[in-house]
Amino acid sequence: FIGAHFMSGFVVCLGETLFDSTPAGIFLGGAPGNVAVHLSQLGAKVEFASRVGDDLLGREARRRLSSYGVGVSLLQSETTPPRSGGGGGAGDGPGGCETGFVLCEIAPNGDATYTFNEPAAWDVLAAEPALLSAVAAARCVVHGSLALRAPVTRSTLVSVVGAAKRRVFDVNLRPPHVDEPAIASAAAGAWLIKLNDDELPELARMLGLEAGAVGDDAAERASAAQLATATGAAAVCVTRGAKGAALWVAGGEGEGEWSQHSGFAAAVDARDTIGAGDSFLASLILSLLPDEPASPGVRHELDATDALARACAIGAFVASMPGATPKHDADAIERIRAFAP
């Protein structure tokens, strides 16, 4: 679906491993893991770095990720029994945390709200030498903002920021798990920042930038351009749910190109939106990654509108299926992309 330009190297996705409990069932989830699964299905070589409990869900997560072709050599495991009772916040204590689990409430329009267990094993991801070596060797590293909620994993992410050649920062603001200083720090130096239209003004505010009105195209364009300039990002992607997405590709000195796609919501019957944005991001990453390992920008021959169309089509397909990581149906995705209202 993406093409054969992704020829060498690998991607490291890093962050939370959890299971989503939805009305339709219990599915493997967590944004970085979802991105890893979709990258693998699109033909990329992927390693997933996270931590799971010494429990049935942890072993099942490892099995399912492996079944999708995702490398799990960086998936750490807790080795001590789970702690009982209270005490401490997320990721404050020693080992013994259980695999992540989240209760997902699905609204009639398919949107989801989340309640996370804490502490969870992914809150104590350790900066092991193997992880840092893999990060330094990877074509890019993908991580989100949710993993910044706990001190141990947050410290590991700080190490990752210093070691990675190229980083994708996937903003997922899930109150109360929002550490604003850590999020602002993680945005600095990212190669690609992806966030939704509600999160754009929030991140702008965290960085001391002017926050434009949600839903105003001119304001979103201006905010995306300012965000790219402030952080040094090569690209900023703003997703708009059923209304598609927009992409700012920086050109230097505050200049750049703003591309948009209205999405394919009319082409599918959305069942739930969990994982749709993650599949979108996986597709976009492969479209933007330059062939030159040392290049700080995006692919020279990039067709941004086409990249958005591909990503929106995959996102729409996932939204029409149960769970965050359904098996890709290339024919169904192409039919969605060819849809003309």
Q: What is the pLDDT of residue 147?
A: 95
**Residues 170 and 281: beta-carbon distance below 8 Å:** yes
Angstrom distance (rounded) from CA 325 to CA 278: 9
**Residues 47 and 12: beta-carbon distance below 8 Å:** yes
**Average pLDDT for 316-330:** 94
**Residues 20 and 324: beta-carbon distance below 8 Å:** yes
For residue 108, pLDDT over 60 is answered with yes
Q: Which two tokens stand for residue 85?
A: 């009772």
- Percentage of the chain beyond pLDDT 70 is 92
- Band (82; pLDDT cuts 50, 70, 90): very low
- Band (8; pLDDT cuts 50, 70, 90): low
Residue 165's nearest CA partner among 197, 188, 148, 190 is 190
pLDDT in tens, 223-264: 999 999 999 999 999 999 999 999 999 997 779 999 999 999
Q: What is the pLDDT of residue 130?
A: 95
Q: What is the pLDDT of residue 6?
A: 40
pLDDT in tens, 135-183: 999 999 999 999 999 999 999 999 999 899 999 999 999 889 999 999 9
pTM of the full structure: 0.91
- Band (88; pLDDT cuts 50, 70, 90): very low
Which residues does residue 9 pair with via DSSP β-bridges, in sequence order? none
Residue 210 identity: E
For residue 93, pLDDT over 80 is answered with no
Peptide bond into 322 cis (omega under 30): no
**Residues 135 and 12: beta-carbon distance below 8 Å:** yes
Angstrom distance (rounded) from CA 190 to CA 180: 16
Q: Which two tokens stand for residue 139?
A: 């074509």
